[in-house]
Each structure stands twice: as C-alpha cells, then as structure tokens.
Structure 1
Amino acid sequence: MKISQAAEASGCHLETIRYYERIGLLPQPGRTGSGYRVYEPADIERLRFITRGRDLGFSLEEIRSLLQLSGDDQMSCMDVDRLARSHLADIQARMEDLRRMARELERVIASCHGGQRAECTILSTLRQPAGCASAECCQA
C-alpha cells in the first residue's frame, strides 16, 4: 500500500511515517518503479505499535527498545516489565510535579484581588525564585 493508505491504516500522519523512517524506527519501505513507497502489513503493525507507545507516553528511544525486545524471541518478558515499570514511575513523578504546580498556581490565583498591574500578585510571584511563598520571604 502507498504511504497515504499506510497513514490511514495505522493512524499515523504521513510526515511522521517519513520521520520514523529517517530515524530508523521504521525500516525503509520498498519502492515501486515510479518511486512510490510500498508498505507491507508488518509495517502497518509496527506503526501501530509505535503510535500506541507514543499514546502511552513512551519516548522514541523507549519505543526503539521495546521494538527490539518484541523482535527477540529469546528476551524475557521481565525486560519489558522492567522498562514499563520504569516508565510508570516517571509518569507518576511527573503527575506529582503537575499536582504541585497546580496547587501553587491555585494559591497564586487565590491571592489575586484585581487592582492595578503594578500590584498584581500573580506577576509578582513569577518574579520570585522558586519556593518563595510570598514576597516577604525573598526580601533578604
């Protein structure tokens, strides 16, 4: 099938498919006599694998590792499990960071009482070093 058909079948954008080829995540496809790329069912399956991995937040390098693991019948599922657990820990850490940022932003917004821009607590807070809860803590 041609690249437009591969894109539709895999749910992956045309330019993304070309990018995956350039970085070696997807093997270079065969070509027709007129130079059109020709994709096989295995290519579509691989694109779906990559797309699903990206949907789950795996980096391209992690997906590269997962593809290598999935292609090696001698590899243990424990290797995949280890990578997935590490990725889950990273996601959980990012979630905690996002919760912390949301709490801080809620606090800053709650301290805003309108008024003039020169008195804006939100802008004032953004000028302070990280970790300062108020303008007073940073007056040293």
Structure 2
Amino acid sequence: MTYRIAEAANVVGVPRTTLRYYEDIGLMPAPGRRPNGYRVYDESDLARLRFITAAKNLGIPLADVKALAAAYDVEDCTSVAHQVVEMVAVRLAETQTRIGELVALAAQLQDVSGRLAAAPTAGACGADCPCTTVTIEPTSPRRTFVPLTLTPLTADNEAIACTLRPDAVPDQVSDWQELVARAVDRRTIDGGVSLVFPAEGDLAAQIARLAAAEQDCCTFFTFTVRLTPGQIRLDVQAPADAAEIVAAMFGAPV
C-alpha cells in the first residue's frame, strides 16, 4: 500500500511540513514519485517515520535521532534499543536535575509566601517590609539538589529516592495538594511538619491511605496520624536532605 504525503503524515500523526523537513535534513529518504510528481510513501517509510517520531517524543535531540535513524537502517532491534536506552538515560538525568531545581524553588516560594502573609496590616511599605526584602536564591551548578531516582531502596541504600512510576506521580501529587489545602494549621516539628485537619467524615481514612501510599514508594518519609477530639493530626518527618521535598509537598511550617 502506498500513501501520498498528506495521507502518510495523517497516519503517523505529524504535520506535512515536518515530513518535508525530515527529508530535507536526511532523516527520511527521498520518497518515490508518481508520474504526476506527487510524493509517494510505502509501509517501510511509515515505519521509519514512526520510529523517528517516537524518539523525538522521548525528548531525544534531533542530532541524536539522526544517529538512531542511521542505526535503524542497518542494525538489529536489540542494538538500536540499547542505543535508545542510553539516550533516554541522559534525558532522565536531565529531567531529574530539573525536578530537583523545581522542588528547591517550590520550597523557597513556600517560605516567601509565609513571610509575605506576615506583612504588617497598616502603614506604607518600607525598606524592611517583606514586600521589598523577600527573595529566592538563584539556582547554580554548585547547589546540591535532592536526587530523585527510580532506583529501589535497599538496606544499604538510604538515598532520598522514589520508586513511584513517573506516570503515577501527577495523580499522587494532586491528591496531596487537595488534602493539604484542607489543613487548618501547620507547625514545625522535629525533622518535619505537623498538619492539623478538622475531624470530618472519612478524612482520617483518606489521610491514612495517602500516607501509606507515599511511604510505600518514598520510604524516607515517616507519617504519624493522631486522632484527638475534634481534630486529626498528621506528622510528616524525613531526613534533613529531604527538607525541601517536605516543604514543597506539605507546605512550609510557620
């Protein structure tokens, strides 16, 4: 079966301009032509285009995709897959570094928010008011970020790490954000933060469920749930290296 350029682009899910660009830079071979001059693509062209698209969707730079495409033409699947794994590892390391930067930034923003909330209720802004003095530290290569890895923890590996699958992280973070927003108080405790919730409905069960799920994938956390008349208290504790994660997830204590 053969396809015109619009049909080929539609089947793979890329714009026609992208397909032409790939041909211009040598990622795709020059297509055959019909007597009327129209480009024509076969199933092997579409397979190659799907491979290129998949590599691009993984965030692999175009120059590296070109190297992969060259390997795709002459090497077996195992060899090509191994090269993709190496490039994905680089991309993963870059992403983890960025996550660390964002966690650090979130912790600083939490602190800034708390300081601004404590601004005087009367009088003009001055040199010492938080409106003009709050700041955040610029990120730099010298800063040490909390490493977030997919390496399972063992008795000999006490690194701050998470084993949760990447596609499950957004849902779990969202669940925590919704829960933390219901806290009526937040206080500093040794090694972490204590959140106080009203004793409402099934809130205790929800807290326990989330705490158990988080501790299952991030074993460096310690959660303690206390039920007292009229309130539920959740204590979240972690090693000092994870302080920024605690602040980012559960809010900066006051």
1:80, CA displacement in angstroms? 4.6
Q: Deviations over 1:58-79 (max 9, x none)?
A: 2222222222222225x69456
> Aligned ranges for residues 1-140 of structure 1 at < 5 Å?
1-73=3-75, 77-78=78-79, 80-81=81-82, 83-110=83-110, 111-112=112-113, 113=116, 119=132, 121=134, 124-125=135-136, 129-131=138-140
Quick one: which amino acid aligns to residue 93 of structure 2? Answer: A
Question: Aligned letter for 1:87?
Answer: M
User: 2:72–2:80: 8 Å Cα contact kept in structure 1?
Assistant: no
CA distance in 2, matches of 1:31, 1:120: 67
Question: 1:31·1:38 contact (CA, 8 Å) conserved in 2?
Answer: yes
One-letter code of the match for 1:98? R
Distance 2:70 2:86 in 1: 17
Distance in 2 (alpha carbons) for counterparts of 1:44 and 1:17: 10
User: In structure 2, what residue type is equivalent to 1:130?
Assistant: T
Q: Distance in 2 between matches of 1:79 and 1:30?
A: 26
**Runs of 4+ in structure 1 displaced over 3 angstroms?**
75-80, 114-118, 128-133
Q: How many equivalent pairs are there?
A: 127
Residue identity in the other structure for 1:18: R
Contact 1:69 1:80 in 2 (8 A): no
Preserved CA contact (<8 Å) 2:101 2:139: no
Structure with the higher fraction of residues in helix conformation = 1
Deviations 1:87-132 (A, max 9, x none): 13212311221222112221221123256795263xx33xx65359
Cα 1:120–1:36 change in 2 (3 A) is farther
Task: In structure 1, list runs of 5 or more residues that go unmatched.
Answer: 134-140
Contact 1:10 1:48 in 2 (8 A): yes
TM-score normalised to the size of structure 1?
0.73
Which residue is equivalent to 2:174?
none
List gaps (5 residues or longer) in structure 2: 120-124, 144-254
Q: Note the C-alpha offset of 1:27.
A: 0.9
In structure 2, how many angstroms separate the alpha carbons of the residues matched to 1:43 and 1:105? 45
Name the % identity. Answer: 28
Judging by fraction of residues, say which structure has more strand: 2
- Residues in 1 aligned to 2:84 and 2:49: alpha-carbon distance in whole angstroms: 19
Q: Point out the structure with max Rg over C-alpha.
A: 2
My pick for the range that moved more, 59-68 or 46-55, is 59-68
- Could you report, residue by residue, the CA deviation over 1:9-56 in whole angstroms, capped at 9, with x for unpaired residues? 111211110110110001111223333211122111111111111122
Q: How far apart in 1 are the matches of 2:28 and 2:70?
A: 12
